[in-house]
Each structure stands twice: as C-alpha cells, then as structure tokens.
Amino acid sequence: VRASGLLRADLVPDAFWSEIGDRCIACTRCNMVCPTCTCFGVEDWRGAGQVERSRKWDSCQLEGFMREASGHNPMGSQALRTRRRIHHKLAVDPARWGVISCFRCGRCDAVCPTGIEIMAVARELVSRYHSDVVMGQTGPPSSGCCSE
Ligand code: SF4
Ligand code: SF4
C-alpha cells in the first residue's frame, strides 16, 4: 500500500525507473506467470481456403508491445515499460477499480532473473522514497493487499 501511495502521488523520479529498467532483459517471465496479467495480441493466419484469427499472450516488457503502425512507440524504453508494468498494478488499477491488481503470490519474484520483480521493486520504492509526512498528506489507497 505504501508503494502504491508513492506511485499514485507521483513521488518516484524517472531516474529510479531508468535504474530498474536497465536491469530488465525483457524475458517476459513476469507476465507469463502472473495471474492478473491478461494482455494479448491478435494474429491472422491464412491457410488453405481459410483464415484463422488467434489470440496469444503478449508482454508489456517487449519493445513492440505498444509500437504503433507509424513506428511511434509511446513506451519506447525499458524504463518506461518497467514503470508502466509496476504502475499499472499498484497505481492505475487501484484508481480505476479500487483494488491493487497484485495478489503478492510471489510468482514473478521467483522467476525474474534480475531481481526486479514487483515486491522487490515495491520494497525499494518504500525504502528510498517513503515519508510519513508525505503519506500523511496524500494518503494511501484504501484498498488492496500489498503492504509494501
Ligand atoms: S506477485 Fe503480483 S505481479 Fe507478481 S505474479 Fe503475483 S500477482 Fe502478478
Ligand atoms: S522477469 Fe524480470 S527481467 Fe524478465 S521481463 Fe520481467 S522484469 Fe524484465
């Protein structure tokens, strides 16, 4: 909850995400094991006399995840993509749905080869930027299950 409050109050500098993003190798393991990651891509396959449309899992940690047809990429760096993944679960979803979309199952922490999964990042956020004064002014979100 404290990490969520920091993110929702926009108290985390870009330099933090550059540092964390530099450690992401875009292996996508975090997304593939997460029970609340639901992003997918759509592909059309043309076979003999038929076209098949299929969905497959996608990962917000991949460079092409949000790249547009024009070539513009609003998430053009690993720092932005890492920030988006953490921010989505701990800040955007609580604001939108009233709950943090991380159950602390620990799956992503178990598989990330570089140690930058959500609980590790949340702990780092709190240790670096948490301030009782600031949190008292902004107030953490009232729901969710993460205590970091
Ligand atoms: S700890 Fe949270 S982000 Fe990580 S896999 Fe579990 S639900 Fe997903
Ligand atoms: S598991 Fe770790 S290194 Fe792999 S994409 Fe996720 S954050 Fe990056």
- At 77-93, the pLDDT tens digits run 999 999 999 999 999 99
What's the pTM?
A: 0.83
- Nearest ligand, measured from the Cα of 146: 1
Residue 134 has pLDDT above 80, yes or no: no
- Does residue 112's CB lie within 6 angstroms of at least one atom of ligand 2? yes
Q: What's the pLDDT band for 130 if we cut at 50, 70, 90?
A: confident
Closest C-alpha to ligand 2, atom 1: 112
Contact, 61 vs 30, CB < 8 A? yes
**Integer Cα distance of 132 and 14 in angstroms:** 22
- Tell me how far apart the alpha carbons of residues 114 and 119 are, in angstroms, rounded to a whole number: 13
pLDDT one-digit tens code per residue, 32-60? 999 999 999 999 999 889 999 999 999 99
Q: Looking at ligand 1, which atom is closest to the CA of residue 107?
A: 5
For residue 1, the model assigns a pLDDT of 82
83 vs 77: CA distance, rounded Å: 10
Could you tell me the distance, in angstroms and rounded to a whole number, from the CA of residue 95 to the centre of ligand 2? 25
Amino acid identity, position 75: M
Compute the distance between CA of residue 77 and CA of residue 73 in angstroms, rounded to an integer.
Answer: 9
Q: Is ligand 1 within 6 A of the CB of residue 98?
A: no
Task: Determine whether the shortest distance from the Cβ of 120 to ligand 1 is under 6 A.
Answer: no
Structure-block tokens of residue 49: 């006399």
2-19: pLDDT as tens digits: 899 999 988 899 999 999
